[in-house]
Structure 1
Amino acid sequence: MLIKSFLDYLRYERNYSEKTVLAYGEDIKQLQEFAQEEYGKFDPLEVEGELIREWIVSLMDRGYTSTSVNRKLSSLRSFYKYLLRQGEVTVDPLRKITGPKNKKPLPVFLKESEMDKLLDDTDFGEGFKGCRDRLIIEMFYATGMRLSELIGLDDKDVDFSASLVKVTGKRNKQRLIPFDEELGRSMREYVNVRNEAVPIRSDAFFVRKNGKRLYRSIVACLVKRNLSKVVTVKKRSPHVLRHTFATAMLNNGADLGSIKELLGHESLATTEVYTHTTFEELKKVYNQAHPRA
């Protein structure tokens, strides 16, 4: 009766949709079934925190995500707040219950073979635009810089003699990123083509045909368009190339501290997400290759 009166309260006083009311009822029913299975009975007025914790563990063991478990806990919290207002209980059994933390999604990145195919085998087109678009992809992959940092580059920020590029990151913090001979050649080629095709231009390193600085949507669009030629992942943004840079560095022996500095992260904890990424890839390889996996 208590459960029915709660659902009627949601339905008629709170005007919740029938779908929502049914979901609340199903969540409470799940706890009821668990309690009856484990202890042979279920009385909402006698539920204690220990039962809720055991139920949470059972849900996680059955493969429920932390998001689903927290949604179910939200239903129970509403139920017991209702019982408290009605004077049916004096203590909320969920008062000290903390739901499982939602896992952050792992960064999406491209494999080195996919980047090789993109940079070595993909036709970016002729002339200024093709040369510029290819360099943008290569620069993201070779330096790990952010989109805002790339479009903010000026000619004066590129030091060819020292093979360094100065970028301005979050909160106007500047850092130096080294580049290798291959990227240096691509950058020199672009500058030569750009200077001939766009003689009158702004101070920006990457410009449009009219000589003005590129803006975010142009770069995001060209990255998405070109990544679509080699991968089918849903996320195909400049940030994916930043993740790809960090993952490739880690896979090829770079230490986390160095990657942190190159990416311009404030905290090493932010960089450590890439160790989880590479471990997930390692698990996939193991499961595919090991005969006993």
Structure 2
Amino acid sequence: MELSKPLNDYLERCCQSLFDDIQNDRINEVIQLSDVAAVNPKRHLTKGSLARCVEMANLSTSGSFPNDWCRKAYSGGMKFMNGDTILARITPCLENGKTAYINFLDEGEVAFGSTEYIVLASKGLLPAEFFYFLARNRAFVSYATNHMNGSSGRQRVSAQDIEAYRLRMPSSSQAALFADFARPIMEEILNRSLENRRLSSLRGALLPKLLSGEIDVSKVEIPTPPNNHFVFPHNPMRFAQMMNYTTNRLGRTAMEATIDAILAQMQPFLSSQQLRQLKHVLHFELIEKIHEQSTGPDEKLLPLFLTAKEVEGCSPKTIAYYESTLMHMTQSIPKPYTQIDSNDLRKYLNSYESKRGAGKVTIDNIRRIMSSFFAWLEDEDYIVKSPVRRIHRVKTATVTKEVLSDEELETLRDSCAAPRDLAIVDLLASTGMRVGELVGLDISDIDLQERECIVTGKGNKQRPVYFDARTKIHLTAYLNSRNDHNPALFVSLGGSNERITIGGIQTRLRNLGKSAGIRRVHPHKFRRTLATHAIDKGMPIEQVQKLLGHAKIDTTMHYAMVNQSNVKASHRRYLE
């Protein structure tokens, strides 16, 4: 039983290392926790009903599985279900790390615990396991500790402060990678912990009978332990990948410490010669063998490809997207790149689409990235022929996307209570700039006299965009209302005066749309609206292309939805 704890601790460190890497990825946008997680979600439990209860004393300070639980009548407290993360919000339990991931309940079962718990539940955008490792993250614990309020000795952090915690939103590929990595590990930890619980219960029942002599084991034949004592995840390739990743990230020292912990637990049962042999086997299997795999040819090809893309001028975001997409493919197809064929890739794309409910556009994007990678392998003579050549472009349905009408734009303007929001709506509507370009603007980039500004678009390409007189008036009013010294054009409200984020603008526009009764208001809708209105009013498509900053005119045509009434009028003018 004691052997499982160091293994469980090590597996958790694997996941924590991956989580920390994602949170350190500065490409990812910063969001509030409330955007992706429900804090203290409503769960139904009838007072007086018998339910499982996890007391504060039974939360572990280092592991995901509670030390124990009991069944008793519900009389109050925080309620939770499978997939939730619970953590202490009161001192000193919060600082000590009392946290648990709930995955041991029956389907649909609701359990309860202390009123001093914070419950985190995924809203579906990120895997549930993500929030357990968030609760274990040092930056999160430090934030929660610093936001405690109350009298000395009874300080606690509020749910509102937890909701306001700012974290980096993983990309969809990073979230999928984390789910594939963490889910089997958490299931393995659950299985080990449940087995330990059963063995502990059995020991408690048998030990008094053994001591009293009620049970005689002198003639019991002890069976030889099976060779497969260690129950690693069912997929050996997956386990090898996990060990590969964590050996590289955590280093040989951490793995050696785990081996030493295993040997210490096995010392009462093995002779010195057997311990030496076990150490040799563990060292070879968990360090040397994994190190050999990590330096194999496949491990070097992907970094070389990404370096080539960087030399070609791809942006950091593009390179990160390539890397996460190809890493997921590599982990899903347990073959060297030189042995992957077209059928392997077709099965992977089909599985990805069915399991994740991905759209055809997403699948074709993955196909294009794989095509670029295997074409590079072919050009560099690592493979004879790219297996993606036989996989044709994925056909996607043409969907007519909505634009904002003049009436809807006026309604949105009327809904803006803050000068900043009105300036944002006008600037997006009159320039059609990307939301990433908007958040990067500084006050110095704006020329109010000429009603233009310089934006930095994709690939760090700069271009001028132009705004109307109404936007100039509202921008001037907003800037005159500012009393901070931040060079950013748009800053957050509430006194922090930090540069506004992409997520902040998206959330603000979504809320403005809801209050105005307008569906699906988002920054990109303003861009599509501008392109459509410009073409409807006769602006040449080449000028619209320059205005939007598109490298290819085909992209501009995808944005612009020509008004059907204009098509009808043109038909009557030219063809009748």
Quick check: 1:243 aligned with 2:528?
yes
CA distance in 2, matches of 1:100, 1:171: 26
Deviation (angstroms), 1:211: 2.1
1:178 maps to what in 2?
A: 466
Q: Residues 111 and 148 from structure 1, CA distance in 2 versus in 1: closer, same or farther, beyond 3 angstroms?
A: same
1:188 to 468, 471, 476: 476
TM-score after normalising by structure 2: 0.29
Measured against aligned partners, the alpha-carbon deviations of 1:120-159 in whole angstroms (never above 9, x if no partner) come to: xx2322xxxx100111111111100111000000011001
Measured against aligned partners, the alpha-carbon deviations of 1:201-257 in whole angstroms (never above 9, x if no partner) come to: 321011123222011111001111112244543x32111111111112222222211
2:82 maps to what in 1?
A: none
Equivalent positions of 1:46-85 (< 5 A) are: none
SS at match of 1:145: coil
Gaps of 5+ in 2: 1-359, 361-389, 570-576
Task: Give the counterpart letter for 1:219 in structure 2.
Answer: I
Quick check: 1:278 aligned with 2:562?
yes
TM-score after normalising by structure 1: 0.55
CA distance in 2, matches of 1:183, 1:238: 16
Q: Residues 149 and 161 from structure 1, CA distance in 2 versus in 1: closer, same or farther, beyond 3 angstroms?
A: same
1:215 to 501, 505, 509: 501
Rg comparison, structure with higher value: 2
Task: Give the counterpart letter for 1:223 in structure 2.
Answer: L
Task: Give the counterpart letter for 2:416 in structure 1.
Answer: F
CA distance in 2, matches of 1:99, 1:149: 31
Measured against aligned partners, the alpha-carbon deviations of 1:146-175 in whole angstroms (never above 9, x if no partner) come to: 110000000110012222111000011000
2:487 to 180, 196, 203: 203
Structure with more strand by fraction: 2
Structure with more helix by fraction: 1
1:255 maps to what in 2?
A: 540
Quick check: 1:142 aligned with 2:434?
no
- Please report the RMSD computed on the Cα atoms of aligned residues, expressed in angstroms: 2.8
CA distance in 1, matches of 2:525, 2:531: 10
Q: Is the 8 A contact 2:534 2:544 kept in 1?
A: yes
Task: Give the counterpart letter for 1:124 in structure 2.
Answer: C
2:514 to 209, 224, 228: 228
1:124 maps to what in 2?
A: 416
Q: Residues 230 and 100 from structure 1, CA distance in 2 versus in 1: closer, same or farther, beyond 3 angstroms?
A: same
CA distance in 2, matches of 1:285, 1:135: 36
2:409 to 108, 111, 115: 115
Deviation (angstroms), 1:105: 2.7
Q: Residues 261 and 193 from structure 1, CA distance in 2 versus in 1: closer, same or farther, beyond 3 angstroms?
A: same
Measured against aligned partners, the alpha-carbon deviations of 1:43-85 in whole angstroms (never above 9, x if no partner) come to: xxxxxxxxxxxxxxxxxxxxxxxx8xxxxxxxxxxxxxxxxxx
Q: Residues 282 and 192 from structure 1, CA distance in 2 versus in 1: closer, same or farther, beyond 3 angstroms?
A: same
Gaps of 5+ in 1: 1-66, 68-95, 287-293
SS at match of 2:433: coil
SS at match of 2:455: strand
CA distance in 2, matches of 1:116, 1:247: 17
CA distance in 2, matches of 1:169, 1:230: 30
Deviation (angstroms), 1:97: 12
CA distance in 1, matches of 2:566, 2:529: 18
Q: Is the 8 A contact 1:106 1:273 kept in 2?
A: no
Q: Which has the higher contact order (CA 8 A, sep 6+)?
A: 1
The sequence identity of aligned pairs, in percent, is 28
Measured against aligned partners, the alpha-carbon deviations of 1:86-127 in whole angstroms (never above 9, x if no partner) come to: xxxxxxxxxx998983224333311122112322xx2322xx
CA distance in 1, matches of 2:391, 2:445: 53
